[in-house]
Amino acid sequence: MKLNVGDAAPLFEGKDQQGNLVRLADYKGKKVVLYFYPKDDTPGCTAQACDLRDNRERLQKAGYEVIGVSVDDEKSHQKFIKKYDLNFTLIADTDKKIVEAYDVWKEKSMYGKNFMGIVRTTFLIDEKGIITDIIEKVDTKAHTEQILK
């Protein structure tokens, strides 16, 4: 089901890069940048993660906590975080429950082949758990600017 601005953000729980349980409910009272990306350590995903890393202080000043979600496992997330010194939580959604709840697991096409994957999308969620913006055309190199606009 397609989510829209004004909808309640679907509650979720998943394991972070350390195997700790992360729940959206744990962030009640805080604003959240919940961003879905296709794959750890690929050019676009790395540019996006590094932009968010480099601007974490600005995002925090605006009241946001950053959570990234992909279907990569915890070990992949650990390597990605270590390689690029990422300073925010990554959730390993290996069972695809979160990506399906947010309707970002879709059929994609590359080089004439169709496959299922994450459509890069960011949801901005307010302190009450309401979606305030959905960024579908993500500029991986200037994502923070899109968020703070």
What percentage of the chain exceeds 90 in pLDDT? 96
Q: Which residues pair with 68 in a beta bridge?
A: 35, 90
Whether residue 121 contacts residue 138, with contact meaning beta carbons closer than 8 Å, is answered with yes
Task: Convert the pLDDT of each residue in 67-100 to its tens digit.
Answer: 999 999 999 999 999 999 999 999 999 999 999 9
Q: How confident is the model at residue 122 (pLDDT cuts 50, 70, 90)?
A: very high
Tokens of 21: 């349980």
Q: How far apart (Å, rounded) are the C-alpha atoms in residues 143 and 122?
A: 9
Whether residue 27 contacts residue 130, with contact meaning beta carbons closer than 8 Å, is answered with no
- Which is catalytic among the residues 45, 52, 59, 69? 45
What does the pLDDT average to over 25-34? 96
- 1 has pLDDT over 80: no
Average pLDDT, the chain: 96
Q: Is 50 a catalytic residue?
A: no
- Kindly report the CATH number that applies to the domain delimited by 13-148: 3.40.30.10
- Hey, where are the domains in the chain? 13-148
Whether residue 15 contacts residue 91, with contact meaning beta carbons closer than 8 Å, is answered with yes
pLDDT at position 110 is: 82
